Structure 1
Amino acid sequence: MPDTTELPTEAHLLALASLPQMGPARLSALVEAVSPAEAWHELCRGAVPGGGVRELLGAPGAAVVAAWARRASELDVGELWRHHLEAGVEVCGVSSPAYPEPFRGEEHPPPLVVLRGDRRVLDGPRVAVVGTRDCTRYGRDVAFELGRDLAAAGVRVVSGLALGIDGAAHTGALEARAAPPVAVVGSGLDVVYPRRNHSLWRAVADAGLLISEHPLGTSPAAWHFPARNRLIAALADIVVVVESHARGGALHTATEAAQRGRPVMAVPGSVRAHASEGTNRLFDEGAHVCLGAGDVLALLGLDTPARRRGEDPRPVPEPADARVLEQIGWEPVALEQLVLRTGLELGSLVLALDRLEAAGWVARRAGWFERVAHDGR
């Protein structure tokens, strides 16, 4: 086994975090029992330091420890450390000077975080804007506007870089070209997930900060995302849920925020919209109503910024098309439903929808139609 005594604590934390089935709870238990270097050497010889780790492992503990020992025998700690240095990321343990301050106050702070970008962007008000990946056009528009207007007011928009609401909020924050965005992800910082957000990842890293508690090269796994959500809640002064189904990660983030005494806000949605079912139920649990960035800023104790309210550049629909637009409302609707609502013949309705779509009033997605809000740009 190569001599690793000259390597920093963070190098051994990386090595430990690279072992299979090593989550933050197990890693915390290890480094609370002994130093990261001692924990590494113990695991290399197939031993487990500290009773707390054995309790966490439970019945399959022997198999997990054997897998750790096999992986440890193959891993070069020094090479792993050099790889991270050369990649330009910052690796922090709890005792590192660069460790994000908001995490220090956690009851169980993440033992390892990896950063790409400027960690100083955390010095300022932070609001998490979260929601479902399977969002409506209404939800996407609201998330974009919240991200844009909050960033314009100097607020750091925090989210998870997922598809749907998360991505829309970060896109809006970047559009403002003001306060930098912050993202917490569930994979290594070099493993973009989902792949469609590759450009957005790069833009957020260039303008703000990416955070992970996984070494480079770590693929996403289902259990990574609830763990990621707790970090989003830990960073946020307020959590805003834009759209969430009856079950979803955004509700988990809201629960984590409430457990920390952080305010939770929700954007009201239609009682008929599945994408707002979980969001609307948050009001029963005491969530604040969010109708726009002004509500969030008021709860933060900040002044509402002067918003850019230019006239809507879209051409005013003809009266007949305007009546169709009114029947679409603000939730996705199928063509068959619109035929019933409007009473129009199919051919006339399709032509009206084509005109509304060309003018930017309506968006079409997978056979459904949604009204498009004017974003004030």
Structure 2
Amino acid sequence: MHEEALALLKLVLAGGAVAPRRGLLDAHDTPARSLAAGAPAWRAAGLTEAQIQRLRQPDNELLQRTCQWLGPARHHLLGWHDPDYPPLLRRISSPPLALFVDGDPSLLWRAGVAVVGSRSPTAGGRDNAYSFAKTFAASGTAVISGMAAGIDAAAHEAALAVPQGVTVAVLGTGPDLAYPPHHAGLRERIAAQGAVVSEHPPGTQAKPAHFPSRNRILAGLALGTLVVEATERSGALITARQAGDNGREVFAVPGSIHNPLARGCHRLIREGAGLVENAQEVLDALVPMASELADFLRGRLAGSLARPHIGADTALAPLNPDYQPLWLALGHDPTGMDLLVERTGLTAAELSSMLLVMELDGRVAVEHGRYSRKT
């Protein structure tokens, strides 16, 4: 394993409060330098004696097991110091030190909506979650949820049913474990088509305290959070409040006054959440923040142009030459991602990033996961 990755892993496995370890990375730039700084620097950053002891003497069995999990190409560890750390997550009040990712880590930069709700929804609630999530996925928006039973599972399944649909599962276990266990097949499908994310190392079992903590990551990765059905004491309301506390949009689907699972949504609406009746209302409300995310993305794409302000009388800036092959591959008829990969020789991840930029610049239209030039 690369020296920096191993050093980051040791910092992660030291456990305890995250903020001091983030501060240590900020002070020393890289994980290897952070470890090399030694105990005086560790104490100055606020690490406890227990954390310092674990840095000096890591759990070798856990370290080896985690290194082994990180071996396959599909498995990744993104640290706080990494420029590819998701920019929206970086802005929450308590961002994780690192993320274990099974799948495509670039998808954590995709504009996304968190879809959450009851583990035991009504049939109508499950249908609503599926319908909203399917529309999000068809628009190119990632569907983010917690892979729990009920609303979460319906949202993930809807995104997986869309060609080129993207979904991200944030777990309260290690990234290799499904919770509930019967979602093992769903976890594998999400990892293959999207990404499974956890701040916990592989093998970490489910604990009650992990799930409220998990919810902050779920809300932090998303532009906004949609609650479909929830009681007044639902974990979905925790996710919604964490989203609101971090400046993200919160939406709720209203229901019957006789449905106990609508009370959490009605409470959120009374507290200021947006009442929505269809997915397009959510997407329209998220346009300003999606534009901001595109600005972050431009900063990570080599040779990208600053996004011009586009008004009624404003012409588009000249197309970046790096985007020219993609522009030529696009036509006025909607084109699917597979064909664009074939025409350009670029990967789906590279194309997704470029298409998002071009869509927000007003050059490209997307409908049902297919792309075309805007006239």
Match of 1:293 among 262, 275, 279: 279
Per the TM alignment, residue 178 of structure 1 is displaced from its structure 2 partner at its CA by: 3.7
Q: In the TM superposition, what whole-angstrom CA distance separates every residue of 1:327-357 from its partner, at most 9, and x where no partner exists? A: xxxxxxxxxxxxxxxxxxxxxxxxxxxxxxx
Name the aligned partner's letter for residue 208 of structure 1: G
Query: Judging changes above 3 Å, is the alpha-carbon distance between structure 1 residues 81 and 275 closer, same or farther for their aligned structure 2 residues?
Result: same
Query: Structure 2 CA distance, aligned partners of 1:272 and 1:67?
Result: 56
Structure 2 match to 1:72 = 58
Letter in 2 for 1:89: H
How does the TM-score come out when normalised to structure 2?
0.67
Structure 1, unaligned stretches of length 5 or more?
A: 1-5, 55-61, 303-377
> Does structure 1 residue 284 correspond to structure 2 residue 278?
no
How far did residue 86 of structure 1 move? 3.7
5+ residue gaps, structure 2:
289-375
Deviation at 1:144, TM superposition (A): 0.9
Matched, 1:10 2:1: no
SS in 1 for 2:176: coil
1:238 is aligned to 224
SS of 1:53 mapped into structure 2: coil
Distance 1:146 1:106, change over 3 A: same
What are the within-5 Å matches in structure 2 for residues 1-377 of structure 1? 7-19=2-14, 22=16, 24-25=18-19, 27-28=21-22, 31=25, 36=31, 49-50=43-44, 52-54=46-48, 68=54, 72=58, 74-75=60-61, 77=63, 80-86=66-72, 88-301=74-287
1-side partners of 2:171 and 2:62: how far apart? 25
Q: What amino acid sits opposite 2:4 in the alignment?
A: T
Q: Deviations over 1:183-239 (max 9, x none)?
A: 211111111111111111111111111211122112122222122111111111121
Which residue identity lines up with residue 12 of structure 1 in the other structure?
Answer: A
Contact residue 17 and residue 23 of structure 1 kept, 8 A: no
> Closer, same or farther in 2 for the Cα pair 1:41/1:247, shift >3 Å?
farther
> What is the one-letter code of the residue matched to 1:9?
E
1:76-133 CA-to-partner distances (Å, cap 9, x unmatched) read 7466434412474111112224322332334443211111212233444311111121
Decide whether the 8 Å contact of 1:161 with 1:183 is kept in 2: yes
**Identity of paired residues, percent?**
36
Task: Give the letter for the 1:8 counterpart.
Answer: E
Following TM superposition, by how much is the alpha carbon of 1:73 offset from its aligned partner in structure 2, in angstroms? 5.5
Q: Distance in 2 between matches of 1:74 and 1:166?
A: 35
TM-score (norm 1): 0.67
Distance in 2 between residues matched to 1:170 and 1:184, nearest whole Å: 11
Which letter does structure 2 place at the counterpart of 1:22? G
Letter in structure 2 aligned against 1:53: L
- The residue type paired with residue 240 of structure 2 is A
Q: Residue 169 of structure 1 aligns to a residue in which SS?
A: helix
1:146, distance to aligned residue in structure 2 (A)? 1.0
Query: What is the letter of the counterpart of residue 97 of structure 2?
Result: P
**How far off its partner does 1:156 sit?**
0.9
Distance in 2 separating the partners of 1:222 and 1:295: 34
Which structure's CA Rg is the greater one? Answer: 1
What is the CA distance between 1:40 and its match in structure 2?
Answer: 6.1
Q: Number of paired residues? A: 287
Tell me: CA distance 1:180–1:69, structure 2 relative to 1, closer, same or farther (3 Å): closer
Q: Residues 17, 33 of structure 1: CA spacing in aligned structure 2 closer, same or farther, 3 A cutoff? A: same
Instruction: Please report how far the alpha carbon of residue 160 of structure 1 lies from its aligned counterpart in structure 2 after TM superposition.
Output: 0.9
Change (3 A) 1:277 1:27: farther
